[in-house]
């Protein structure tokens, strides 16, 4: 078992692209860690650098307390599952799973035992004689996982392992992955561009952009207290309302409303701010709040997303229980839950003051 220590790590490609930029990060032994960020932000490069498939340009990679920056990939005790699974097409499922053992010259019997043992828990026992082309996407993914587990590595690196699966299978596979990781206690770094997946699976999340970590925290922290508007915008299945406003007379003027700023935050009049309020934390009231005309109502299942046209003009979204859906064209008022209004600096986009995080 082993944790991961990255210190001042940069990976620059020969064409000059700085895909990982002075990044420091510690992943604890046994932790399920998600790397989240838009396409091109450096997630794959970071994984490949941890695995040793890319050479770090500066900084260091530590695994299990040892500096492995100059250690070749095969000696790092790291297993990586690639986005496209990278199974050997000419080998059977059993041969694919046992491949790491064949490489280290284990006996035929050991190879067979590893294939049988690893495949059983993954529902692959009846497929051992098939070739990858005869498997579904979900089955191929499980073979790739089985092969990674058969390596008996200390660290498991997963590069968007669920991205080739359809929506239903994806949900199943993610539950399965979470259970497997917990049972094996493997230190796991899981790359995804899907924020819902990261929130659901991870002990901690790093949100990346341009080769750097923008925010590091628990799923609740990044959801409830995004440190800047980039993270605020990126996290959440219904996008956070980010509304331009200004401080006036100690209140925040936004969308035609005057809202109380977060406790302890004392900003001079005229300060430009962006108010961040999640649709889930806005509720219809008869009191003061953001008043607007209902323009769209979208059914999300148990809840509905209501879009209000407000002065500014700006659009404001809030979720309501299905039975509370207001009629299109009516005028309603919505108020943020206490402690849920976030204020971002209108210029630097950074979070101002503290914000509540549930424990
Ligand atoms: P992600 O996995 O988050 O989509 P990548 O790590 O694949 O991001 O890419 C990060 C950046 O590095 C991108 O700008 C990409 O174009 C660039 N890049 C990736 N691989 C190479 C390569 N082999 N040579 C040059 N540039 C690369
Ligand atoms: Mg990638």
Do residues 127 and 173 share a domain?
yes
Do residues 118 and 24 share a domain?
yes
Q: What is the pTM of this model?
A: 0.89
Q: Whose CA is nearest to atom 1 of ligand 1?
A: 40
Taking the C-alpha atoms of residue 173 and residue 94, their distance in angstroms, rounded to an integer, is 21
Among 229, 262, 297, which residue terminates a domain?
Answer: 229
Residue 47, domain member (yes or no): yes
CB 188 within 8 A of CB 32: yes
What strands lie across the sheet with 342-345, from one edge to the other? 257-259, 251-254, 241-248, 272-277, 342-345, 351-352
SS3 130: coil
CB 247 within 8 A of CB 241: no
pLDDT at site 106: 85
Q: What is the DSSP string of 206-265?
A: EEEETTEEEEEE-HHHHHH--SBHHHHHHS-SSPPEEEEEEEETTEEEETTEEEPPPTT-
CB 2 within 8 A of CB 20: no
Do residues 172 and 31 share a domain?
yes
pLDDT at site 103: 84
pLDDT at site 327: 96
Among 183, 202, 229, which residue terminates a domain?
Answer: 229
Residue 234, domain member (yes or no): no
| Domain range for 245 | 240-345
Taking the C-alpha atoms of residue 353 and residue 84, their distance in angstroms, rounded to an integer, is 43
pLDDT along the chain (359 residues), means of 10: 94 97 97 95 97 96 96 90 87 92 86 84 87 90 88 90 80 82 90 91 96 96 95 91 95 94 90 96 92 96 95 95 95 94 96 85
Q: What is the CATH number of the domain that holds 104?
A: 3.40.50.300
Spatial neighbors of 252 by CB under 8 A, at least 6 apart, are 245, 246, 258, 259, 260, 261, 273, 275, 341, 343
Do residues 263 and 114 share a domain?
no
Beta strand 4-12 pairing with 351-352:
unpaired
- Name residues with Cβ closer than 5 Å to ligand 2, which is an ion: 44
Among 229, 264, 297, which residue terminates a domain?
Answer: 229
Do residues 72 and 221 share a domain?
yes
pLDDT at site 183: 85
What strands lie across the sheet with 78-81, from one edge to the other? 78-81, 155-159, 187-192, 32-36, 204-209, 212-217
Residue 355, domain member (yes or no): no
Do residues 172 and 275 share a domain?
no
For ligand 1, residues with CB inside 6 Å are: 13, 15, 17, 19, 37, 39-45
Taking the C-alpha atoms of residue 132 and residue 149, their distance in angstroms, rounded to an integer, is 18
pLDDT at site 35: 96
Distance 18 CA to ligand 1 centre (A): 9
143: nearest Cα among 129, 163, 160: 129
Q: Which atom of ligand 1 is nearest to the CA of 48?
A: 6
Q: What is the CATH number of the domain that holds 262?
A: 2.40.50.140
Do residues 217 and 323 share a domain?
no
Place of tokens 């010259």: 105
Q: Which atom of ligand 1 is nearest to the CA of 208?
A: 3
Phi-psi region of 3 (alpha: psi -120 to 50; beta: other; left: phi over 0): beta
Q: Which atom of ligand 1 is nearest to the CA of 211?
A: 10
Spatial neighbors of 189 by CB under 8 A, at least 6 apart, are 4, 27, 33, 34, 35, 47, 50, 155, 156, 157, 158
Do residues 161 and 182 share a domain?
yes
Taking the C-alpha atoms of residue 177 and residue 180, their distance in angstroms, rounded to an integer, is 5
Distance 119 CA to ligand 1 centre (A): 33
The total of structural domains in the chain comes to 2
């Amino acid at each position: 078992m082993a944790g991961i220590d990255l210190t001042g790590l940069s990976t620059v490609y020969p064409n000059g692209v700085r895909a990982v930029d002075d990044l420091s990060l510690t992943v604890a032994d046994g932790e399920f860690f998600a790397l989240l960020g838009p396409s091109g932000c450096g997630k794959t490069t970071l994984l490949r650098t941890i695995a040793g498939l890319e050479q770090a340009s500066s900084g260091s990679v530590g695994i299990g307390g040892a500096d492995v920056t100059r250690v070749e990939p095969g000696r790092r005790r790291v297993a990586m599952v690639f986005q496209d699974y990278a199974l050997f097409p000419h080998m059977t499922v059993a041969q694919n799973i046992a491949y790491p053992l064949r490489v280290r010259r284990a006996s035929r019997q050991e190879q067979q035992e590893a294939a049988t043992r690893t495949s059983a828990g993954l529902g692959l026992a009846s497929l051992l004689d098939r070739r990858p082309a005869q498997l579904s996407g979900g089955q191929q993914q499980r073979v790739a996982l089985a092969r990674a587990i058969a390596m008996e590595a200390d660290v498991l690196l997963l590069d968007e392992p669920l991205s080739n699966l359809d929506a239903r299978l994806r949900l199943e596979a993610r539950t399965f992955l979470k259970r497997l990781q917990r049972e094996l206690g493997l230190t796991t770094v899981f790359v995804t561009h899907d924020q819902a997946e990261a929130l659901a699976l991870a002990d901690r999340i790093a949100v990346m952009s341009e080769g750097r970590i923008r925010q590091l925290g628990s799923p609740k922290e990044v959801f409830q207290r995004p440190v800047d508007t980039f993270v605020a915008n990126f996290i959440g299945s219904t996008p956070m309302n980010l509304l331009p406003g200004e401080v006036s007379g100690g209140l925040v003027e936004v969308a035609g409303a005057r809202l109380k700023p977060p406790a302890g935050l004392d900003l001079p009049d005229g300060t430009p701010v962006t108010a961040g309020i999640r649709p889930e934390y806005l509720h219809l009231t008869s009191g003061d709040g953001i008043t607007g005309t209902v323009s769209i109502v979208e059914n999300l299942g148990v809840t509905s997303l209501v879009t209000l046209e407000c002065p500014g003009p700006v659009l404001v979204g809030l979720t309501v229980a299905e039975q509370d859906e207001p009629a299109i064209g009516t005028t309603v008022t919505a108020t943020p839950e206490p402690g849920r209004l976030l204020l971002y600096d209108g210029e630097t986009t950074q979070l101002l003051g503290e914000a509540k995080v549930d424990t």
